Each structure stands twice: as structure tokens, then as C-alpha cells.
Amino acid sequence: MSSKFMRLNGQETVRQTVAGLPELVEIFYLCPRCLEPADEPLPCPRCGGERVMCRPGAANDPVRKPLIAATGEFRGRAPVWWLRAIGALAN
């Protein structure tokens, strides 16, 4: 993940870690059709579509992995944060 998408946006993007140090939570926006990224919720310059908000979480966050079925297998390849972004999965 490029540091280009790092941004502070008030309390929502800063969590307190156990050690009391603020931890950045990355938020960026992607066009669901073209996957054009932006750090603001602006319309996609290619298709004019609405970008969706993405929160890929920290490096060790399980939302970076695909959904895991009860049998322990990955269900598809899309990470959980993307499924949430496009509304395929509840937050």
C-alpha cells in the first residue's frame, strides 16, 4: 500500500494502540469498475462512477485476507475490506 493514500481524518482514522501510540488507519477510495484509486471520494475520471470507501486495515489485520469458510478454505480471492467496500459484506 502506497503511503500516498495515508491520511489523517480526525478521530475516525486514528486508533490508540495498547502502547498508547496512535496507529494510522488507511482510508482510500476506489472506483468499483476501473479500480481507479483516490484519497478523496471524488467521482472516477474514467467512467464517472462513485468511488467506494476502502479500509484495508493494518498490516496484520484479518480484513486483508479473503473470506474464510467454516471448512477453513478461502472463499474467493477478494479481501474482506473490498467486499465491505462494495457492500457485499456487512461491516
- Interface residues with Zn ion (CB under 5 A)? 31, 33-34, 44, 46-47, 49
Distance CA(32)–CA(44), nearest Å, equals: 9
Grid coordinates representing 42 are: 471524488
Terminal C-alpha separation, the chain: 21
Spell out where 35-82 has E strands: 37-38, 52-54, 66-68, 74-79
Q: Nearest distance from residue 80's CB to Zn ion, in Å?
A: 22
Q: Which is nearer to Zn ion, 68 or 88 (CB)?
A: 88
Beta-bridged to residue 24, according to DSSP, are 14
Q: Which is nearer to Zn ion, 49 or 62 (CB)?
A: 49
Give the C-alpha separation, 16 to 46, whole Å.
38
Least separation in angstroms between residue 46's CB and Zn ion is 4
Min separation Cβ 3 and Zn ion, Å: 23
CB of 52 to Zn ion, least distance (A): 11
CB of 32 or CB of 66, closer to Zn ion? 32
Nearer to Zn ion, 63 or 78 (CB): 78
